[in-house]
Structure 1
Amino acid sequence: MRTVSAAETAPTTYPWAVHAEGLRVRAGRHLAVDGLDLALGTGVHGLLGPNGAGKTTLMRALATVLKPAGGRLTLLGEAVDGRADLRRVRRGLGYLPQQFGFYPRFTVREFVEYMAWLKEMPKTAVPGAAQRAIERVGLAAKAGARMKTLSGGMLRRAGIAQAIVNDPAVLLLDEPTVGLDPEQRLDFRELLRDLGVDSCLLVSTHLVEDVVAACTDVVLVNEGRLVYQGTPDDLIARGGAGDPGDSPAERGYSALLRRHRAETDR
């Protein structure tokens, strides 16, 4: 019997969980992501930008739903292109789109277990993993309820549960706080901090305050291009009293967008 070294049993690590160089992605005929450079590692990254900035298209590309039209995209150390075998990469991903489908008559537990099966989790691991995911999003009391009976906020939490059931190395959440009340949003921020300890988490949202409160890193995009990447404190420092916004974070966000647009129009 051979002795197994610590290096062989250690989890695989990558310089960047997500790495894009000159990434171009189409949404239909429109080039929604245009020459984007991005590097994301472990932590909670907030994705901000106005409507039509390319956030959802970028999320779909990172989730391997859309193929890049140009540039390079590497996920978990593997290049994503038209020739790639994406099954291994997808096992390490978790994804919550803005709108997700489900069988209305499924219970919450059945829905999360079914999604775990689709992610090719070992059969014996599925029940326990589903229960843990349901508990983490605060739906333990509703585990036996049918999906069609859930409120909008509960549906979003069930969607988050399916996204995290496989303990993904890269977790992508597109507008996850839609339908959550203020108390649920506070709980969700705490969940984000917990998830970001050992995974790469990208959260797309219009709520700048959620990003500042829960994220270690801010990514701001506009017209498919990177405008800014840095800490929430630096984002706040970019704004001034004359910039639009009801908070220092919103003023920093507005200031960065205004300067980017001015430079683009030159």
Structure 2
Amino acid sequence: MNTGKESAMTSAVNAADLAPRTYAWEIRASGLKVRVGRKRMAVDGLDLSLGTGVHGLLGPNGAGKTTLIRTLATVLRPTEGSLELFGEPVRGSGELRALRRRIGYLPQEFGYYKRFTVREFVEYMAWLKEVPKADVPAAVQRAVERVGLADRADERMKALSGGMVRRVGIAQAIVNDPSVLLLDEPTVGLDPAQRLRFRELLQDVGQDTCVVVSTHLVEDVAAACTDVVLVTEGRLVFQGTPDDLAAAGGPEHVGDSPLERGYSALLQGTGQGKGSW
């Protein structure tokens, strides 16, 4: 005989949870172009396939990294080419709602309500992402604990340091246990110890999630990423492991580490490696 508890547990599992995975890549772009403003094509003919793991997105300022992240987050629409998330083409607004439930996104600068407590803000974001109401308290607690803010969960956002606010941003990005997690410069404002804990979190999340991390810090890529994607002028220059990136450079290239020298060598090949800050 089934108890009420057993019935409730059964009803909590929906068909989408049980459906087999039928797509090869969480993210797949072909000939992707995204225009910013009237003329500039910030992403210009990009071909990219990304699956489970932690992918470091590198490139100089103006390379199109933020535009690409915003497009993957469905904030921007492709101008030309195709973009698929979870095997589904990104098209009209009616289809975006279902895709967004499966995406976690932290922009470079995110807005928040200063009078909200940490818990209230992450709860609000869970509600926006349509996390089932019964699951919200546990999901919020878990997200806050994973970023090391359980002891500050009931403090108001306005009382937090910049680094703590950034960690709340990471918490709201993971509260819905996303299948794709998009982080744009997530370590800005974090101190060295916090960055180490963040790398550990990336490695944990990346075991069953497609994580894309845009960063200028090559050491973060070396420590946490399984894959490196290098873009410049909106085009893909390189995709491979951190070891592959390190092997691309030599002692004649600029950099304090093999990864930085590999990065410099690849940019030099595109004409972007010299004469700029």
If the TM-score is normalised by the length of the shorter chain, which range does it land in? over 0.9
Deviations 1:92-144 (A, max 9, x none): 00000000001100000000000000001111111110000000000101100
Q: How many corresponding residue pairs? A: 257
Equivalent residues in 2 for 1:25-104 (5 A)? 25-29=34-38, 30-82=40-92, 85-104=95-114
Which sections of structure 2, spanning at least 5 residues, go unmatched?
A: 1-15, 273-277
**Is the contact between residue 48 and residue 55 of structure 1 (CA under 8 Å) also seen in structure 2?**
yes
The separation in 2 between residues aligned to 1:167 and 1:73, in whole angstroms, is: 22
Give the superposition deviation at 1:8.
8.1
- Structure 2 residue aligned with 1:123, among 127, 133, 145? 133
Q: Secondary structure at the match of 1:177?
A: coil
- Structure 1 residue aligned with 2:217, among 186, 202, 207? 207
**Is the contact between residue 53 and residue 222 of structure 1 (CA under 8 Å) also seen in structure 2?**
yes
Q: Quick one: which amino acid aligns to residue 267 of structure 2?
A: L
Give the superposition deviation at 1:261.
2.4
Q: Secondary structure at the match of 1:16?
A: coil
Deviations 1:203-234 (A, max 9, x none): 00000110011000000000000000000000
Give the superposition deviation at 1:13.
4.8
The separation in 1 between residues aligned to 2:238 and 2:250, in whole angstroms, is: 17
Q: Secondary structure at the match of 2:251?
A: coil
The separation in 2 between residues aligned to 1:183 and 1:222, in whole angstroms, is: 31
Q: Secondary structure at the match of 1:134?
A: helix
Give the superposition deviation at 1:83.
6.2
Deviations 1:170-224 (A, max 9, x none): 0000000000001111110000000000000000000011001100000000000
After superposition, the Cα gap between the structure-2 partners of 1:155 and 1:13, relative to the gap in structure 1 and judged at 3 Å, is farther
Give the superposition deviation at 1:10.
5.3
Q: Quick one: which amino acid aligns to residue 135 of structure 2?
A: A
Q: Report the TM-score when normalising by structure 1.
A: 0.94
Q: Quick one: which amino acid aligns to residue 218 of structure 1?
A: V
* Alignment partner of 1:169 is 2:175: no
Structure 2 partner of 1:20? 29
The separation in 2 between residues aligned to 1:188 and 1:12, in whole angstroms, is: 29
Structure 2 partner of 1:223? 233
Q: Secondary structure at the match of 2:95?
A: coil
* Alignment partner of 1:113 is 2:123: yes
Give the superposition deviation at 1:27.
1.8
The separation in 2 between residues aligned to 1:144 and 1:52, in whole angstroms, is: 38
Structure 1 partner of 2:7? none
Q: Report the TM-score when normalising by structure 2.
A: 0.90
Give the superposition deviation at 1:12.
2.9
Structure 1 partner of 2:11? none
- Structure 2 residue aligned with 1:179, among 181, 186, 189? 189
Q: Secondary structure at the match of 1:131?
A: helix
The separation in 1 between residues aligned to 2:258 and 2:19, in whole angstroms, is: 42
Give the superposition deviation at 1:84.
5.4
C-alpha RMSD of the superposition: 1.6
* Larger mean Cα displacement after TM superposition, 13-22 or 106-115: 13-22
Q: Secondary structure at the match of 1:254?
A: helix
Q: Secondary structure at the match of 1:33?
A: strand
Structure 2 partner of 1:4? none
The separation in 1 between residues aligned to 2:72 and 2:119, in whole angstroms, is: 27
- Structure 2 residue aligned with 1:9, among 18, 39, 50? 18
* Larger mean Cα displacement after TM superposition, 78-87 or 185-194: 78-87
Give the superposition deviation at 1:26.
1.5
The separation in 1 between residues aligned to 2:113 and 2:17, in whole angstroms, is: 41
Give the superposition deviation at 1:85.
1.3
**Is the contact between residue 67 and residue 82 of structure 1 (CA under 8 Å) also seen in structure 2?**
no
Give the superposition deviation at 1:28.
1.9
Q: Quick one: which amino acid aligns to residue 197 of structure 1?
A: Q
